[in-house]
Structure 1
Amino acid sequence: MSTETAAAAAEVVAPSPAGWEEARSRVYAVGLAAALPAVSRPLADADGHTLAEPLTPRTDLPAFPTSSVDGWAVRGDGPWQVVGRVLAGHTPPPLEADGSTVEIATGAMVPEGATAILRIEESTRTADGRVAGTPRPAPEWREPGEEAYAGEELLPAGTPVDPAVLGLAASCGHDTLRVRRRPRAALLVFGDELLTSGPPGAGRVRDALGPSVPAWLRRYGCQVRPADVVGPVADTLPAHVAALRAALADADLVCTTGGTMHGPVDHLHPTLEALGADYVVNTVAARPGFPMLLARLVDDDGGVRFVAGLPGNPQSAVVALVSLVAPLLAGLQGRPMPVLPQVTLAEPVPGRGDYTHLALVRWDRVAGAAHPVRHVGSAMLRGLAGADGFAVIRPGTSGAAGDRVPVVPLPLTPGERSW
């Protein structure tokens, strides 16, 4: 092999890794550029989607003066003659005469002409049936627009839709929402050495990523069906090409596990080349998690699909998920690039030289302290099962007890906003 050929081969085998923060920014930007189209969804079907436009009220909130208490809407000085009753959901006639009152329920429209509301528990009845008492000096009703005015932006585009957002949208008078649909994702598991059931043995190991990666993807807002999980895919190039081509037919994002190196049975890179993909990120200077990648394919009609190559070691695969997949999905859903919270290290965390160290920690949110966990090798999942996220130790540094560092929270419940 000539010197020039050897140099070219070395460049293919060992591309210059992107910095971890640069990689996150890069994949978020390409995701946002390919943000999924907006669709209208009824409120009952909008949970877990993302607002594609700001949420605004269709009327003032409240739309009319609304009683805050059960009591009496009175006009003028008392005692007051009872002339009627106002229940929620009705439009009352005005109170026209001083000294008159109507019984009013919480949430009912305050009649025009009322000067105060007397709480029911602070009222008495006179011998002739009139109502007596002293209204409190502060109004006991909500004014129109007290919560919001018609057309006021309450939530920006990019807000995840959760039960609180659904309730607010309904109170604003909306029956449907313009949202970005949830990304469709698939998983291809590579590796002839993997078992899909039973205990490991005889040189074969149990596949831990086939069951877990789809669950992580759902927590990041993806749709993943059981049929979208395929593998183990045979360790041949034709099998890889066929599997990835089939997965890309329906998915916005295909994650693969293993095969991100350039060994004799690592076929991901040749597969991406065969399908005409271009790299957004090809390896990241992070440990664990090396090597990870994100590639992009553009259809003839301009549609964009993504392939995330996750390492085969389970904890490294999760590092790739939080590093590349999570920001990509935020962009695809039109969500903002989240700012990572800061935590205080309770114990020292070593650095990894020129690489970003993503160290598993248990995060005490009350104290704001992060405690490193044990059993954190690239192939281990025991530490991950007891962790809340990854403390970020930047290149060329180490973390001392008391240092403030960023943390990448794990999405521990479906639909959780932080990542």
Structure 2
Amino acid sequence: MSGCGAESGLITVDQALDLILDKTQALAVGQLALNQALNHYLAEDIYSEINLPLFSQSAVDGYAICAQAELEPNAIFELIGEVQAGHHSALQLKLGQAVRIFTGAKIPVGTTTVARQEIVKVKSSSTIAITESLKNHADIRDIGEEIAIGQLLAKQGQKLSVGAIASLSMAGVKAVQVFQYPKVAVVITGDEIAENVEDVASGKIFDANAPLIQAWFEASGQQIKIFHVADTELAVRLLIQDLSERYDLILTTGGVSVGDYDFIRPVTLSLGFEEIFWKVKQKPGKPMLFAHLKREDHSSCYLLGLPGNPAAVYVGMQIYTTTVLNALQGYKQQPNWFSALLTHDLKVDARERFLRMSASFDQASLKVKSLSKQQSHMLSNLMHANCLVRIPAGKNMHEGQIVQGMFID
């Protein structure tokens, strides 16, 4: 098979991802307040220092009761007081006694069961009756039934989601050790960027890459700095040299192929970066560069060079940028791919393709359908795409075959 995707020396997508994971070293570890640690990766295992619940408590608004056995309807109890949530009470129940209790309140000593208020009839200020049968130990949350002291709450390498932060907060965790988030510089290359309609008339184009990347990082609450650079070797050299001294990751778009004005790769190598890979057997995004610079203080700067076409940038962000950022934070795993059924035939291509598709469930099966306008300079189908799907190189794909993909926002 001939064509630009069939040239020798190209590595596969999985080989590129494995190289990123193997060659990228995690950044330093630091402590953050838990409420500032969203989307960071844990650098330690966390064990509970408390029981949850902290004490046995009522699961409902009702009445704590002391009885010998399961209760029959119309059982009568003496009402001796009230226990509110968050308030200490020294009340102790004896056989035949009850107290008014509220959800989350500590169970008094002597309690054998709790009757929810819907099955209790207040007969007087000091007497209640149970209107339904009631089992022993009903609606009592036992101390430590969810979490016990010493139990593992979260593992090193776990990403702190909203739910994880809520769970740790409930367990009394106030601060966590996390991997430092990388400082990221984004370099947009090219003289062809239009600032207004008049620029477009002169042959320039509007920039999609900078807004795409800015929004991509903002979606996960991460801060970056964007730089634009002209297509001259000197300008590229001065900027990359400066950024390599101050940032953990330099992400570039454009200027990474073999054209007369593609200076990213030669400049990067001349500045002492070690090339980890260049060119991946994929479509879009073949001319991709990943390189590493070891600084004099033994810290590192990584450079991920993406092609300039917007669809290639989008694919590169979803798959490769995510992998690099995760690896810098100690999480070294390839992307999680789902499996789905292809709903139509696809022609063969020399390179593995990432197609923007629409995924939906049909009769309990996940199915994917390719969208039109897949060329690397086109983005309009992202209005409707909810996944990227991997189509293997060198294979005619048919309806009903299983493919891998990832969901996108």
| TM-score in terms of structure 2 length | 0.89
Return the alpha-carbon distance in structure 2 between the equivalents of residues 302 and 63 of structure 1: 47
Pair 1:280 & 2:276 matched? yes
Listed as ranges, the matches of 1:50-69 within 5 Å are 50-69=41-60
Pair 1:112 & 2:109 matched? yes
| 1:52 to partner: Cα distance | 2.1
Aligned to 2:38: 47
Aligned to 1:143: 142
Return the alpha-carbon distance in structure 2 between the equivalents of residues 291 and 15 of structure 1: 13
Pair 1:27 & 2:20 matched? yes
Distance verdict in 2 for CA 1:217–1:16, change over 3 Å: farther
Contact kept, 8 Å, 1:94 with 1:113, in 2: the verdict is no
> Which stretch has the larger CA shift, 371-380 or 49-58?
49-58
- Unpaired runs of 5+ residues, structure 1, are 1-13, 413-419
Return the alpha-carbon distance in structure 2 between the equivalents of residues 265 and 308 of structure 1: 18
Letter aligned with residue 321 of structure 1: M
> Which stretch has the larger CA shift, 252-261 or 131-140?
131-140
Contact kept, 8 Å, 2:93 with 2:108, in 1: the verdict is no
Aligned to 2:210: 210
Listed as ranges, the matches of 1:366-385 within 5 Å are 367-385=365-383
Pair 1:392 & 2:390 matched? yes
Aligned to 1:300: 296
Distance verdict in 2 for CA 1:406–1:101, change over 3 Å: same
| 1:361 to partner: Cα distance | 0.7
Distance verdict in 2 for CA 1:15–1:229, change over 3 Å: farther
Q: Cα deviation per residue 1:249-284 (whole Å; 9 max; x = unaligned)?
A: 332211111111122211111211221001222111
SS at match of 1:166: helix
| 1:402 to partner: Cα distance | 1.2
SS at match of 2:16: helix
| 1:325 to partner: Cα distance | 1.5
| TM-score in terms of structure 1 length | 0.87
Return the alpha-carbon distance in structure 1 between the equivalents of residues 400 and 147 of structure 2: 43
SS at match of 2:164: helix
Distance verdict in 2 for CA 1:276–1:127, change over 3 Å: closer
Aligned to 1:339: 336
Contact kept, 8 Å, 2:323 with 2:332, in 1: the verdict is no
Q: Cα RMSD over matched residues?
A: 2.1
Return the alpha-carbon distance in structure 2 between the equivalents of residues 292 and 192 of structure 1: 20
Return the alpha-carbon distance in structure 2 between the equivalents of residues 323 and 162 of structure 1: 20
Identity %: 26
Listed as ranges, the matches of 1:12-411 within 5 Å are 16-31=9-24, 34-76=25-67, 78-127=75-124, 129-133=126-130, 134=132, 136-137=134-135, 139-198=138-197, 200-219=200-219, 222-224=222-224, 228-231=225-228, 233-337=229-333, 338-353=335-350, 355-365=351-361, 367-410=365-408
Letter aligned with residue 338 of structure 2: P
Return the alpha-carbon distance in structure 1 between the equivalents of residues 67 and 294 of structure 2: 73
| 1:346 to partner: Cα distance | 1.5
- Unpaired runs of 5+ residues, structure 2, are 1-6, 69-74
Aligned to 1:4: none
Contact kept, 8 Å, 1:125 with 1:132, in 2: the verdict is yes
| 1:221 to partner: Cα distance | 6.3
| 1:336 to partner: Cα distance | 4.9
Distance verdict in 2 for CA 1:185–1:196, change over 3 Å: farther
Distance verdict in 2 for CA 1:120–1:271, change over 3 Å: same
